[in-house]
Each structure stands twice: as C-alpha cells, then as structure tokens.
Structure 1
Amino acid sequence: MNNPNFSCSYIRYFQKLTKFVYIITATNFWFKDVKLPNRFVKVYDSVSKFLEAIVIAFVITGFGASYTQKNLSEKQSTDILMKSVSSLFVYTMYGCVVYNKIEIRELLYSLTVSLKEIYNEEVQKQMLMKIKMYMAGLVFVGCCPMTAYGVEGAFYALTSNVTFTTVIPIWPDLEDRSFFAGFARILIYIVWLLMVAHVMAIYSLIICISICLGYQYANLCKYFLDLNTVFDGEGSIEERERRYEEGVKVGIKMHNIILRCVNQMQSSCKIVYGGQILLNVCVMLLLMIQMMQSDRSLPQLAPIVSMAMGVLVSSGLFIWSAGDITVEAGLLPNAMFHSGWHNCRGLSSVRVRKLITFAMNEAQHVVVMKGLGVIELSYDSYIAIVKSSYSVFSIIY
C-alpha cells in the first residue's frame, strides 16, 4: 500500500504551496528555508515591507472615505462600509496567521514528516484530489469579485460621465478628473488586489492544512483496520501477536501526534475561524442592504452577487474542511475496535485489550474546531451562520 515516491510528491505539494505563499506574502511557513535565490529573497523581503505598509495604510484609511467624500449616495456609503469592514477583517486574520508562523511550521513538519510512518497511498490520493478541488474553488471565488468590481468601474467610466472607481478612497475626490487622480485610483485598485492576494494565499494554506488533518484521521482509521492482516501473515502466533501489539503502539503514538496537530491548528487559527464567521455575517448583511439600495441593473448586481458568492464559498471551504476533521475523528474508535485485538491470546490478549481500551477512550473524546471559542465548525453550523445574516437583515427591513 505504501509508495515512497507518492509520499515524496505529497511533501513536494506542500513545499510548492508554501513557496507560492511566500512569493505572495513574503512569509515562509515551511520548516526549511525557501528554495529561491538568496539575492532575490533579500531584495524581496525589503520590497515586501514597503508593500505591506501600503496595504496597511489602505486598510486603515478605508473608513475615512465616509468623511472626506461628499455627496455620496446610500449605495456608495454602504459600499464604503462593506469594503472597509471586509478589508479590516481579512487583513486582521492574515496578520494573526503570520504572527503564528512558528506554530504553522511545526504543524507542517508534523503532517509531512512525523506522520509518514503510517502513510497510505490511496488515502493520500483522495486528500490531494480534494485539496486541488478546494483550491480551484478558492481561486475562482477570489478572482470573480475583484474582476467584477474592476469591470463595473471601467464600464461606468466608459459609458457614463463618472471616474473609474472600484474602492471609494479617502483621496482623491470622486469628481477629481485630473490625470494624477485617475492614476491614483488605478494604484488603489492594484493595492486592493494585492491585499486580496495576501489573504487568498493564507486561506489556501489554512484550508489545505485542515483537509490534511481530516485525512490523517482517515489514514489512521485505515491503519487500524489493516492491522487485522497481521494475523493472516507468516510466522508463529506469538510472533504475529507481537507484531500486532507493536502496531497498536505505533497507532496510539500517531494518534497523539494528530491530536497535538489539531490543538496547534485550533490555537494558531482560532482568530481566523472566528473572524471568518463575523466576516460572513457582516458582509452578507451589508451586501443585502446594498442590493436593496441599487437599481438592480446587471453592472451593479454582478459585483454584489460575485462578492456574496465569494464570501459564502470561502466561508464554506473553511468550515467544511474543519468540520471534516470532526467527522473523520469520530470514525476512529470503531476502527480501533475492529483492528483485530480478539485474535490475541493469553497474556498478550490482556496487554492488547488494555492498550485498545486506552486508545478508544482517548479517541472517543469529540474533536471539534471552534470559531469564536463557542461555535462548532460543521456543515450544520455553516447553514446556521448563513441564515443568521438574513435573519438580521429581515429584522432591519
């Protein structure tokens, strides 16, 4: 069942992912140095600090547009609030993950190195397939809103007597038609794209790690179920009992490592999970209000719908991948029970039953990822979170 070459490709996937995240964010989450030319790394690290300062300025000044821009419509005022709130939330989540990069590195080391001892090729193939599917969805919903807002701004700039505006800035004024003001608006749009790219890179890393944790439980379940085959092999019954007992000990060791990884994930990403829930509720509420204030034409509806789709799908990818950890962990006690302990005899049976009882007792503790410290991340909670936005909207309107 084990294929070393496929195992190496699984590690290479995470190496490529963390290299991609480094190129976007200038933060290395891999437990080794990034494989890029030293000169490039030095220059890029310096340039990235300047770009980061610009993004932070963009996020902080977003709320100020409500005071510096005059004669705004209700839709434009709501648009400023929605984009400012969403930018603040997502950049805060990004900053929290960067702050916890040491824990993320340790987590990736455990997932790609420490847990290789119970590697299963079929399970890992399924994991990589799911990761690629989720990443394709994340890239799609990340690009759609940004493209839609850019097309909307260009459409109105070409067909109406208005300036190209995607994000209403603190400066320049919306009616300023000078060349310098137009150039500044294009730069602001690029900075917004850069911020979204930062966040999408971090999202991809967190979602991949969550999927990997869920499949580590699936891998461990398969490992315990396959321990039955020990008694079908060659050798005396005493030799097979010894191999089975050693196998159980390895499984318990791997389970402890996975539990440590889950705790690290919860510790390093608890603010991200909570922030994503708040982001979903707040942005969906503001988008529904904005839709009520718009004239419901295609150019105005396209950005709103694409942003709503982006928020809902990105929240779903977060919550579904975290909820899968709970589902897969819940299958582990049953796999341990059917691992073949009943084939042991005498003193070996006594020792093995104690080990299995201890292992099942630990595995029966429910493993749940939580947002805001109280909201369990699952498919059911996702539906409840989505409904909550409409519930608040229906009370207001």
Structure 2
Amino acid sequence: MSLNVGHRGYKQQRWMAHSGLRSQNKDTPFYTVVTYLPHYEDNSAVANGFRVFFYMTWLYMMLPMMSADCMPIVHLITMTYKFVTLCQYYDRIKEDFDRDVRTLRKHEAVAKLKAGCLEGIKMHQKLMFLAEEIHRVFGIIMSLQVCESSAVAVLLLLRLALTPHMNITNALMTYTFVGSLFYLLALNLWNAGEITYKASLLSNAIFYCGWHLCELEKEPHKDIRRLVLIGCTQAQKPLVLKAFGIQDLSYNTFVSVARMTYSVFAVFYQRRG
C-alpha cells in the first residue's frame, strides 16, 4: 500500500514538473510554461532538450520586461550624479581661482576662471539635452509605471478587502506583490525627483564660483559677470520630468499615489464591514 502511494506521489510530481499544467490543489497554485509537446511521460533527450528550450524562451521573453523597469532607473541615477559632478566642478574651479589669485597674475587667474565657467555652461547644456532625450525615450515607461502600479495595487487591495476568508499564503503573496509594486514605483519617482533637486543646486554652485573677486571689464561681452548670469539663468530653469506631460514625477507624486491607493482600500474595507 505504501509503495503504491509512493509511486503515485512520484508520478504526480513528474506531472507537475513536466506537463506544464496547473496543480489540482486550489490552495497552492502551480504555474509553469504550458506546452503541448513533449508529453510528461517522455523523458528522452530530445524531450528534455525541448523543455530546456521552452524555459529559456520564456526567460528571454521576461528579460525585456525586467530591463524596461531597470533601464529608466539606471539612467536617472546616472543623470543625477552627472549634475552632482557638475556642481563639484564649479567648486573645484573656485578653489583653483582662490589659489591662482595668490600665485599668478590677476588677469591670468581671471582668464582661467572664465574658461572654466564657459566649459561648465557647455557641460550644463549637454546635460539638459541628455535629460530631454532620457525623458523622450523613457518618459512613457515611467508614466505607465505610475498608472500600472496604482491600478494593480488598488485591485489587489480590493481583493483583500472583499474576500471574506483568505489563507495566510495568498494574503502574504498579495501583500508582497503590492509592496514590490510600490517599491519599484518609489525607485522611479525618487530618482526622478532627485534629478530635479540636484539640478536646482547648480545655480548656487555657479554663483559662488568666485566671480565677485574679478574686476569689472570695460567691454561688457568680455566680463565674467555675463557668463555667470547666463549660467545661473539656465540653471534656475527647473528640470522636472512629467508623466504624459501632465503629472510631475517627483516625491509628491509617490505620496499622492500611495494615499490614493490606501483611500480606495479604506473605503471598500469599511463598506464591507
């Protein structure tokens, strides 16, 4: 009797592992790749090769979905540190100017400071162009991420609120998935808001580059004050990424989405009670 039961259990495990069908136990769903061939009793080398091929194909299909979520985050982090590096560049040319004033002639130190400010303005223009390109390429993905995360989170929380009895496994899976959605949304919106914040610090770095120690030039187009004014004006333009050109991608958006999701969940949970 025990041998018969053990043999049946072994065949059931093979069925779950090779047939690609869902388990009959409703409490523990089993999901895998669904294929018609090969059959579960076929353990030949060709059948196993087909199974490996199907799973590798499934993994290859999932990789673009993961990369679509990771690539915007990587580019946002990279752009954030580029603005941090540019601020440090202006701090460095200020330190160099303070040292050059004591070691070089005044006009040589001023000329070096002018060249540094002009190079910083060019780098800032390139960064703004890159930010526009990143927003153009990944803006739709980040916008859909906001809508998808909020909509799916609301549906899952409604499932928790409207289901009278749910075992701990399904509840834990639902809460974990909702937490993963909000974590991914937080990564996108946090890094988008971080770019806005780091870009706003650039104007102060340009203003304190040391231009006030330079003498006023007779020709206005050669005066360093003109370069500083142009750089500060460009840096004071807020760099804000928007979802569908309407909603800002920032910290406040994440807080708003979280509050809205919880409000919908609380309303339906109270109505159920």
TM-score strictly above 0.5: yes
The one-letter amino acid of 1:341's match is W
The one-letter amino acid of 1:322's match is A
Q: Is the 8 A contact 1:213 1:325 kept in 2?
A: yes
- Supply the distance in 1 between the matched residues of 2:76 and 2:171 (Cα, whole angstroms): 33
Aligned positions of 1:190-339 closer than 5 A: 194-229=60-95, 230-233=97-100, 234-292=103-161, 293=163, 295-339=165-209
TM-score, normalised relative to structure 1:
0.53
Aligned positions of 1:66-85 closer than 5 A: none
Aligned positions of 1:138-153 closer than 5 A: none
- Supply the distance in 1 between the matched residues of 2:245 and 2:84 (Cα, whole angstroms): 26
- Supply the distance in 1 between the matched residues of 2:73 and 2:53 (Cα, whole angstroms): 30
- Supply the distance in 1 between the matched residues of 2:209 and 2:218 (Cα, whole angstroms): 15
Equivalence for 1:75:
none
Q: Is the 8 A contact 1:329 1:363 kept in 2?
A: yes
- Supply the distance in 2 between the matched residues of 1:189 and 1:291 (Cα, whole angstroms): 32
- Supply the distance in 2 between the matched residues of 1:268 and 1:366 (Cα, whole angstroms): 20
Does the C-alpha gap of structure 1 residues 303 and 161 become closer, same or farther in structure 2, counting only changes over 3 Å? closer
Equivalence for 1:23:
none
1:354 aligns with 2:221: no
Of 262, 265, 270, which aligns to 1:393?
265
Q: Is the 8 A contact 2:90 2:205 kept in 1?
A: yes
Does the C-alpha gap of structure 1 residues 376 and 163 become closer, same or farther in structure 2, counting only changes over 3 Å? closer
- Supply the distance in 1 between the matched residues of 2:179 and 2:59 (Cα, whole angstroms): 18
Q: Is the 8 A contact 2:33 2:54 kept in 1?
A: no
Cα displacement (A) at 1:384: 0.6
Q: Which runs of 5+ in 2 are unaligned?
A: 1-21, 42-46
Does the C-alpha gap of structure 1 residues 165 and 342 become closer, same or farther in structure 2, counting only changes over 3 Å? same
Of 31, 37, 44, which aligns to 1:166?
31
Equivalence for 1:99:
none
- Supply the distance in 2 between the matched residues of 1:330 and 1:377 (Cα, whole angstroms): 15
The percent identity for this pair of structures is 23
- Supply the distance in 1 between the matched residues of 2:164 and 2:177 (Cα, whole angstroms): 15
Name the larger-Rg structure. 2
Aligned positions of 1:86-165 closer than 5 A: 157=23, 160=25, 164-165=29-30
- Supply the distance in 2 between the matched residues of 1:165 and 1:190 (Cα, whole angstroms): 19
- Supply the distance in 2 between the matched residues of 1:199 and 1:236 (Cα, whole angstroms): 59
- Supply the distance in 2 between the matched residues of 1:254 and 1:179 (Cα, whole angstroms): 61
Cα displacement (A) at 1:189: 8.4
CA deviations over 1:120-162 (Å, ceiling 9, x no partner): xxxxxxxxxxxxxxxxxxxxxxxxxxxxxxxxxxxx949x478
